[in-house]
Amino acid sequence: QVQLVESGGGLVQAGGSLRLSCAASGRTFSSYGMGWFRQAPGKEREFVSTISTSGRSTYYADSVKGRFTISIDNAKNTVYLQMNSLKPEDTAVYYCAATPRLYGLNVGLYDYWGQGTQVTVSS
């Protein structure tokens, strides 16, 4: 079992920045690829970014590429999502997730999920 707890969400103006954190506990953190997903009201949960267990491989959705950065600190069992140049369309609940695969771009590849943190970007 892996327990994930997100933090760092909030209300920010367009163009602003936020850093999300996801603290993991339970089974060996470094055995899991990690991902961030988001879900806006009335929409399906969508992929945002993923990072490999080593931290050497990262992938981003086209909609956030160049604005968001995912990183991992295995010593702290924490994965981060730095979000810059935020847009109103980034408004959603953001979820952290863990996959036993090296990394994953699809919701179905993830076994463990956090409770989510709300990000609201005002125009």
State residue 110's pLDDT score: 97
pLDDT along the chain (123 residues), means of 10: 94 98 84 95 97 93 98 93 98 97 94 97 96
The set of residues, in sequence order, having a beta carbon less than 8 Å from that of 9 and lying 6+ positions away, is 18, 20, 94, 117, 118, 119
Digit-coded pLDDT (tens) for 65-98? 999 999 999 889 999 999 999 999 999 999 999 9
Q: Is residue 48 within 8 Å of 58, Cβ to Cβ?
A: no
State residue 121's pLDDT score: 98
